[in-house]
Structure 1
Amino acid sequence: MRPVLLFLFGAHLALLAAEKHSLQYLYTATSGLSNFPQFVTVGIVNGQPFSKYDSNIRRETPSQEWMAKSVGEEYWEQQTQISVVAEKAFINSINVAKERFNQTGGVHTIQRMYGCEWDDQTGATNGFTQYGYDGEDFMILDLKELRYISPVKQGTLTVDKWNINRLHLESDKHYLGTQCIDWLKKYLQYGKSSLEKKVSPQVSLLQKSSSSPVTCHATGFYPSGVTITWMRNGQEHHEDVELGELLPNEDGTFQKTSTITVTPDEWKNNKFSCVVEHQGKTEIGNEIRTNQDPSAPVPIGIIVGVLVSVLLVVIGVAGYMVYKKKNGFKPVSDDDSGSSSSLHNGSDSGSVHSESSNDSTKPIMR
């Protein structure tokens, strides 16, 4: 399964250090998974989930305390209604997708990711919208050309019809380039105290046995930008090194790993060290803290433990497609009408302000 991302994606007033800020939403519908919600949404700002919805609870809820304090009940009621409508369209979409791909049973996923990013130093902005089916690209919005493209023949019919509808294309462009940016800055203001924090990583070298690969594990850092490199006798070493994915922790921080494969003699006769750079600070790991018997469990429970977070559940089910490039996924529906409703909306505590364009349930297959 080819990975697809996002990943990821704020404020004027220089709320955070000069960098790119991002707002994105992930929608995921599934079939064939009895113990997983059929529909899940996650809202993310600067890599930090701030709202969520699933078809079991059927209620939009905050993922961060700062979000719960910043908006009123009207916001959550409106978000819930939007997600309920999108849920129906997404779940119906899977059956249509299976027909188009000539499939019957099995586990299938439809995902959409959309959002925007903003550089608080240069003022540059960017928007992205992508749709995926079973972990593969299905349709992508090219904002520069203002048209949808599809890498698969099953998406050709949809692309042809969508590109004729200039009203929807202009609506998508306006949302991604204007409304999304406005709400990104608003959310950055809401979560300023949390989002502008800087926490250095904790670095550990982990190994299952003396002949196993050595993993450099950096965790608990914020913001997400981190660089992990290996040094051998004072020189950068890139051979037999595998860099892991950036993963979120439940507390809003991040973790990342880099694994090096060397023989016990190589490790013994050379000086290896892991160098982790974050926010101008450097952490170095050169002592293996865990060297267990081969039959003992690998001391990486802290890594897989984060899979309990809603964000990673969504990503995991979709083949971890969303943390690979700055794109996302939309629904597949059997509605041929081309009608559409709102994206996620935003609101202040007292009143509701639309954050949306009009395509959260816009059908892909028709």
Structure 2
Amino acid sequence: MRSAVGLLLLLGIHLVYARTHSLQYFYTAVSGDINFPALTAVGLVDDGQFMYFDSNITKAIPKTEWIKQYEGSDYWEEETNILIRKHQVLKNNIMVAQTRFNQSTGVHTYQQMYGCEWDDETEATNGFLQEGYDGEDFLSLDLKNFRWISPVPQGFITTERWNKDKALLEHDKHYLNTVCIESLKKYLQYGKSSLEKTVSPRVSLLQKDSSSSVTCHATGFYPSGVTITWMKNGEEHHEDVELGELLPNEDGTFQKTSTLTVTPDEWKNNKFSCLVEHKGINKEESEIRTNYGNSLPIGIIVGVVVAVVLLVGMAGIGYKIYQKKKKDFKPVSGSDDGSNSSAPA
């Protein structure tokens, strides 16, 4: 896998679609009596999935045409072997964490989320690695001070051990600063034609009935960067607004929602609208579509959203949790997928 990086020396190539790009991996291990793969793994470039693995199929598979075109059987065999080993590591991590938290039964999850970012204009780079247990932060790599930290006492034993392992820290540093960035640039070049595309969002205002909250639903857009703003009488309105998570659609585009809670009288006596900005293009919607009359039933929209959430779950439940936590940390490890083989023993 690393040898493939040498085939494309992309350090001097400036991609024409200027923005910050990312390579991200999410591993989720599950224990207990649950009808879900014991390990799922997802790889994403610019928030779009390009690879998938789970312990039921025991095989890493491509999810885009561009990765199929440029990487052959040797690449996927090596990815598979890495992830099979990762399964054993994370399985052990769950058992260790259960002991640390004094747990003996129940369903538990252990996640590893890591990757890097590159700004193709400024050449600035960034990396992150965080490990979580049962949906809460457990371990992370503090890049500013280059040391492992934990927000909970149960992780202190591990941080002490890993911070003494200078070889491991240097290994992580090399992956973050070199291997991950080179891999990201390689993948961007592979998928240049599809990753350059811009698809504008479709915007709808959805409401169950006249007394319900109003949801602004933007969907079908690419790339993933979008801003949703509620307007009241021509001014930005931020009160009683709940912004939803970014979710992937099955066709590689994205969707996002923002929900506004106001009384029927307040809606009637003011001019509310939803403004969606994507790639410098604004779309504004003020007409509500309800589940009565001739408008699109909100049940259909809700069903689509639920289906997408389930799809995300089967593709690796770490994706949605990571999006929720992404802004909270900027904390890696290595082959092309950078997986850390250490266990928090």
Do both proteins adopt the same fold according to a TM-score greater than 0.5, normalized to the shorter chain? yes
Shift of 1:310: 4.2
How large is the RMSD of aligned CA atoms in angstroms? 2.3
Provide the rounded CA distance (Å) in 2 between the counterparts of 1:128 and 1:116: 6
CA 1:136–1:16 in 2, change beyond 3 Å: closer, same or farther? Answer: farther
- 1:315 maps to which of 302, 314, 317: 317
Which residue number in structure 2 is paired with residue 350 of structure 1?
A: none
Which residue number in structure 1 is paired with residue 341 of structure 2?
A: 361
Which residue number in structure 1 is paired with residue 7 of structure 2?
A: none
Shift of 1:124: 0.6
Which residue number in structure 2 is paired with residue 333 of structure 1?
A: none
Question: Alpha-carbon deviations, 1:320-354, whole Å to 9, x = none?
Answer: 24432155999xxxxxxxxxxx84x4xxxxxxxxx
Look up the equivalent residue of 1:363 and give its one-letter code.
A
**Gap runs ≥5 in structure 1:** 1-9, 331-341, 346-354
Provide the rounded CA distance (Å) in 2 between the counterparts of 1:204 and 1:77: 44
Question: Given that residues 291 and 298 in structure 2 are in contact (C-alpha distance below 8 angstroms), is that contact kept between their aligned partners in structure 1?
Answer: no
CA 1:356–1:222 in 2, change beyond 3 Å: closer, same or farther? Answer: closer
CA 1:287–1:312 in 2, change beyond 3 Å: closer, same or farther? Answer: farther
Shift of 1:300: 2.1
Look up the equivalent residue of 2:165 and give its one-letter code.
N
Look up the equivalent residue of 2:307 and give its one-letter code.
G
**Gap runs ≥5 in structure 2:** 1-9
TM normalised by structure 1 equals 0.85
Look up the equivalent residue of 2:284 and give its one-letter code.
I
Provide the rounded CA distance (Å) in 1 between the counterparts of 2:69 and 2:223: 22
CA 1:321–1:260 in 2, change beyond 3 Å: closer, same or farther? Answer: same
Does 1:168 find its partner at 2:168?
A: yes
Which residue number in structure 1 is paired with residue 225 of structure 2?
A: 225
- 1:301 maps to which of 300, 303, 308: 303
Shift of 1:16: 4.6
Q: Within 5 A, what are the aligned runs for 1:1-366?
A: 13-292=13-292, 297=299, 299-310=301-312, 314-315=316-317, 320-325=321-326, 327=329, 343=334, 345=335, 355=336, 360-364=340-344, 366=345
Question: Given that residues 26 and 111 in structure 1 are in contact (C-alpha distance below 8 angstroms), is that contact kept between their aligned partners in structure 2?
Answer: yes
Provide the rounded CA distance (Å) in 2 between the counterparts of 1:129 and 1:35: 28
TM normalised by structure 2 equals 0.90
Provide the rounded CA distance (Å) in 1 between the counterparts of 2:99 and 2:340: 22
Question: Given that residues 207 and 290 in structure 1 are in contact (C-alpha distance below 8 angstroms), is that contact kept between their aligned partners in structure 2?
Answer: yes
Give structure 1 regions of 4+ aligned residues with deviation exceeding 3 angstroms. Answer: 295-299, 310-313, 326-330
Provide the rounded CA distance (Å) in 1 between the counterparts of 2:155 and 2:261: 42
Look up the equivalent residue of 1:51 and give its one-letter code.
M
Provide the rounded CA distance (Å) in 1 between the counterparts of 2:72 and 2:190: 13
Question: Alpha-carbon deviations, 1:134-190, whole Å to 9, x = none?
Answer: 111111111221210111111111111111111110110010111100000000011
Question: Alpha-carbon deviations, 1:284-318, whole Å to 9, x = none?
Answer: 1110122439x9847422222212334675337x9
Structure with more helix by fraction: 2
